[in-house]
Amino acid sequence: MTFQARPRGLPAQKLLPSGPDRADTLCAQEPIHIPGSIQPHGVLLVADPSRAMAIVAASQNAGLVSGDSQSNTLLGVPLAEVLGEEFTATLMDLAAAGELPGETPWETALGLPGGAFEIMSHIQDGMVLIELEPVAPTDEPDALAAARTLQRAIARLRASGGGLRELAQVAVQGIRQLTGYERVLIYRFDQDWHGQTLAEDKVDDWEQSLAGLHFPSSDIPAQARELYRRSLIRWVPSRDAVPVPLHKDPSWDLPETPERPIDLSFSRLRSLSPVHLQYHRNMGVDGSMSLSILHEGQLWGLMVCHHRRPHRPSPGQRAAAAALTDAFALRIGGAVQRGVEQARRADLQRLAELMAHMAEADGVSAALTAGSVTIASLFGCMGAAVVRGDTVELLGTAPPAKDVLRLTAWLCTQAGQDLFHSDHLGAEFQDWPHAGIASGVLAVFLNAERSDLILWFRPEEPYLVNWGGNPGKAVEPGQTSILPRLSFERWVEERHGYARPWEDWELEIAASLRHAITEVVIRSLTRIAELSERLRQSQKMEAVGQLTGGLAHDFNNLLTGIVGSLDLIRNRVAQGRVTELDRYLGAATASANRAAALTHRLLAFSRRQTLDPKPTDVNRLVTSMEDLIRRTAGPAIHVETVMSGGLWTTLCDANQLENALLNLSINARDAMPDGGRLTIEAVNARLDDAYARKHHDVMPGQYVAVSVTDTGAGMPPEVVARAFDPFFTTKPLGEGTGLGLSMVYGFAKQSNGYVRIYSEVGQGTTVRIYLPRSMGQVEPDQEGEGPFPLAAGPEGGTVLVVDDEPVVRMLVGEVLRDMGYGVVEASDGIQAAKLLEGGRRIDLLVTDVGLPGGMNGRQLADAARTKRPGLKVLFITGYAENAAIGNGLLEPGMQVMTKPFAMDSLASKIRSILV
């Protein structure tokens, strides 16, 4: 078998595809090793496959291999003669198969006349380089121990759950244990090839620490970095060992390429460059080793081992160190990911907070600055700005608004879609005087015009850079060969105008924030604005509908007043009784005037009423009302009052409180058509500061809380939200006025108290009125006679007239008095109910159906009949209230008249009823 069959230099071509970049030519600019010699701890043989593996070059110490101290005797000798047939045949097979690349040489061991050797072979430039290193007696036990240590070290790496620094620390400790070097560090390249010490482990008595130092990229020139990427290990047992020259067969140099050096790029015996050795001298380092850390095919960093004296880790230890370095390299991605995850999780948390703030805001501007603290602290920033058109909101430490606007204008002209970022803004944007606080900027554009944006600023970070060398200083060619830097002193190179770079994940979060703001917040706020406009519109329509209904009712009342007055005038004139006409004319005029003012009054509906607050004993008040409430509620509802001892006196208008409780009881009754339980309860209540903070309308203090609770239908939240609105009702036309709770609310407010609704659909409702505590005394005759004008009851009988329209009351009253009846008047259902509750004689109830205050005419009649069965009732209705009174299907003794009506038809109706 001959190598002639295979094209020469194929593996070499594969390795070094780009001629001009070849390490050896670049090394000419700053040689990283001395061509033509090797370190003395091994032997190098070079065999030429095209000459049947004849040795064409050898290090001067080649005689070690054959036990012959004579140097340079092997040139021209076939390799098989020196290393044996078997070894040579395998080597040729591997070479033919292209399996001897410099990155992964073939490693084996041989017993030779000169002793046992570790052998590494690889092909370079078509030549096979065979490196032989004498095995020391301790190498084998060392290798075993190293294998065990390696296992433990890898286990520790695997267990390291932290970020990159923690992982690196575990790795350097492991390498030091494996190899016995005095100092091991991991040195990481940044994107500009500057390096930084990420982790260091060293013996205690070596004070010089390289931890945290930065090193300029010029320390490791580009060609060296390229070589390190492919040749993964450099090893110098002793810095000052005298190199061994290489001798070449004269046929080595082809005529066309004279003086071709042997390319030692992948040789483990290669000497370090004089520059490098000078570094080591300056640092006090003698023995050293450095392993490349590759991550995703790139030179990511170096594992650097230093010793102050010569040091030789055994081949097994070196192999274990290489394995551990690889194990570390494999975990870089995960550790970076974990570190990123942690920072990212923190920012996502902030993002979530921000979104929550934004969701609560009621406008876009408010939303953007709602979480201003959070916005500014995102990405570990100290300052940010929110720009909306010409308005700038500065958050934290940020440049002045005018400069932010200038920057914004410039950003508009920049490329990129949704984001802009820079960690060296001064270099891109002219006249930027704010490098100190804003060397870095990250901007997200919130609209296509880029008039709205959020900017984050990052300060300059020169103080972070502790250079271990001068990055500006080139390695100068000296008179003889190379003049290495003479000092390795540290000094700070101030890098002006640089901020910490923006990480990819930070850009991702900024992008998702942008997305959230533009797609979610702005859109949904716009949508909410739209919807609430629609809602306002529909509420307006509903209110208009209610007002129209109410107006029709009131107008009919007033028309009744006018038409009725005219009727009466006509009657009186016909009878010749002209003396009292003024009164009816006045009534008619008043009705007409009031009709004119009606729209105004309704629209300006206000909760103001004249109150007469006095110290009130709520226990007594509730007890006195119990019977009335029971009657109003009807037999299907169990009424219970729970009065507490020691109840404070409260300050309120007792009459209005009665009305309020009656209103609430009526609502409770309406909510329990199939019966249930109604509880009225009064307790002392202290509203403390914490409660007041939660309910911004509340003053902390002492109150009496009166609750009306039912086990009825309950209210959904949207009904609760509007229940206090005047005219808001869910009840059918004619049954609800929507004024009950509005009255309760107005009363509580005017009494310096509060009212709250607690309701659950299907469970029931509690309405609780808080009335302020009073220190005054309850007046003994508080209940008195009441405000009702009580006419005497003549023999013909007494009629109770209930209408909220005084003119109607007056007219009907006149007709009745004319007919010889006694008349009692009430202006709403609740007043009337109280009158009916008393013992006075009443033969007929004439009542309007739609009455204010929560109790309509029908309900009034029902309640009255529980106490006075068979009480005669005449409904006079000015409204489409048929449903309320049973759609014409009235009980016996009940009649109905529709307003407006003529006074004489009223008279005959009453007469027919009372006969």
Q: Which residues in this chain contact ligand ADP in the complex, by CB under 6 A? A: 667-668, 671, 710, 712-715, 719, 723, 728-731, 736-742, 765, 854
CB of 767 to ligand ADP, least distance (A): 7
Q: Which is nearer to ligand ADP, 114 or 878 (CB)?
A: 878
Helix (H) or strand (E) holding 652: strand 650-652
How far lies 498's CA from each of 424, 600, 756, in Å?
A: 5, 70, 59
CB of 590 to ligand ADP, least distance (A): 28
Residue 256 to residue 538: CA distance in whole angstroms: 97
CB of 360 to ligand ADP, least distance (A): 28
CB of 670 to ligand ADP, least distance (A): 6
| Alpha carbons within 13 A on the beta-carbon side of 260 | 18
- With a CB cutoff of 8 Å and minimum separation 6, the contacts of 751 are 611, 613, 651, 652, 653, 656, 771, 772
Q: Which is nearer to ligand ADP, 322 or 830 (CB)?
A: 830
CB of 878 to Mg ion, least distance (A): 20
Tokens 């608004």, located at residue:
401
Residue 428 DSSP SS3? helix
CB of 765 to ligand ADP, least distance (A): 4
Q: Which is nearer to ligand ADP, 702 or 766 (CB)?
A: 766
CB of 609 to ligand ADP, least distance (A): 16
Q: Which of 121, 667, 707, 859 binds Mg ion (CB under 5 A)?
A: 667
Take residue 785 and report the two structure tokens written for it: 């006679």
Alpha-carbon dihedral 249, 251, 256, 262, rounded to 10 degrees: -30
**Any contact of residue 813 with Mg ion (CB under 5 A)?**
no
The one of ligand ADP, Mg ion, none whose footprint includes residue 262, by CB under 5 to 8 A per kind, is none
Q: Are strands 614-616 and 650-652 parallel, antiparallel or unpaired?
A: antiparallel
Q: Are strands 476-477 and 482-483 parallel, antiparallel or unpaired?
A: antiparallel
Q: Which is nearer to ligand ADP, 458 or 768 (CB)?
A: 768
The one of Mg ion, ligand ADP, none whose footprint includes residue 728, by CB under 5 to 8 A per kind, is ligand ADP
Q: Which is nearer to ligand ADP, 377 or 667 (CB)?
A: 667
The one of Mg ion, ligand ADP, none whose footprint includes residue 737, by CB under 5 to 8 A per kind, is ligand ADP
CB of 672 to ligand ADP, least distance (A): 8
Is 829 within 8 Å of 859 (Cβ atoms)?
yes
The one of ligand ADP, Mg ion, none whose footprint includes residue 830, by CB under 5 to 8 A per kind, is none
Is 96 within 8 Å of 113 (Cβ atoms)?
no
- With a CB cutoff of 8 Å and minimum separation 6, the contacts of 890 are 896
Q: Which is nearer to ligand ADP, 648 or 728 (CB)?
A: 728
Q: Which is nearer to Mg ion, 267 or 667 (CB)?
A: 667
CB of 730 to ligand ADP, least distance (A): 3
The one of Mg ion, ligand ADP, none whose footprint includes residue 114, by CB under 5 to 8 A per kind, is none
- E-only strand ranges, 701-796: 701-710, 754-760, 764-772
Q: Which is nearer to ligand ADP, 208 or 763 (CB)?
A: 763
Residue 526 to residue 364: CA distance in whole angstroms: 8
Is 866 within 8 Å of 895 (Cβ atoms)?
no
Residue 441 to residue 432: CA distance in whole angstroms: 12
SS3 content of the chain, % helix, strand, coil (to 5): 40, 20, 35
Residue 825 to residue 832: CA distance in whole angstroms: 8
Helix (H) or strand (E) holding 43: strand 43-48
The one of Mg ion, ligand ADP, none whose footprint includes residue 290, by CB under 5 to 8 A per kind, is none
Q: Which is nearer to ligand ADP, 141 or 673 (CB)?
A: 673
Determine the residue with CB nearest ligand ADP: 740
Residue 402 to residue 408: CA distance in whole angstroms: 10
Site stretch for Mg ion (CB under 5 A), options 7-15, 92-100, 105-113, 849-857: 849-857
Q: Which is nearer to ligand ADP, 712 or 857 (CB)?
A: 712
Helix (H) or strand (E) holding 302: strand 298-306
**Any contact of residue 854 with Mg ion (CB under 5 A)?**
yes
Q: Which is nearer to ligand ADP, 702 or 750 (CB)?
A: 750
- With a CB cutoff of 8 Å and minimum separation 6, the contacts of 260 are 252, 253, 254
Site stretch for Mg ion (CB under 5 A), options 367-375, 388-396, 521-529, 736-744: 736-744
**Residues in binding contact with Mg ion, number by CB under 5 A:** 3
CB of 671 to ligand ADP, least distance (A): 3
Q: Is the dihedral of CA 862, 867, 869, 870 positive or negative?
A: negative
The one of ligand ADP, Mg ion, none whose footprint includes residue 407, by CB under 5 to 8 A per kind, is none
CB of 846 to Mg ion, least distance (A): 23
Which amino acid is located at 300 in the chain? W
Residue 468 to residue 885: CA distance in whole angstroms: 99
The one of ligand ADP, Mg ion, none whose footprint includes residue 715, by CB under 5 to 8 A per kind, is ligand ADP
CB of 851 to ligand ADP, least distance (A): 10
Q: Which is nearer to Mg ion, 223 or 659 (CB)?
A: 659
Q: Are strands 798-802 and 391-396 parallel, antiparallel or unpaired?
A: unpaired
**Any contact of residue 740 with Mg ion (CB under 5 A)?**
yes
Is 425 within 8 Å of 441 (Cβ atoms)?
yes
CB of 536 to Mg ion, least distance (A): 24
Determine the residue with CB nearest Mg ion: 740
The one of ligand ADP, Mg ion, none whose footprint includes residue 634, by CB under 5 to 8 A per kind, is none
The one of Mg ion, ligand ADP, none whose footprint includes residue 910, by CB under 5 to 8 A per kind, is none
Q: Which residues of 565-593 are buried (b: 16+ CB within 10 A; e: fewer)?
A: bbbbbebbeeeeeeeeeeebeebbebbee
Q: Which is nearer to Mg ion, 45 or 855 (CB)?
A: 855
**Any contact of residue 738 with Mg ion (CB under 5 A)?**
no
CA proximity to 246, closest of 32, 16, 42, 482: 42
Task: Provide the binding-site residues for Mg ion, judged by CB under 5 A.
Answer: 667, 740, 854
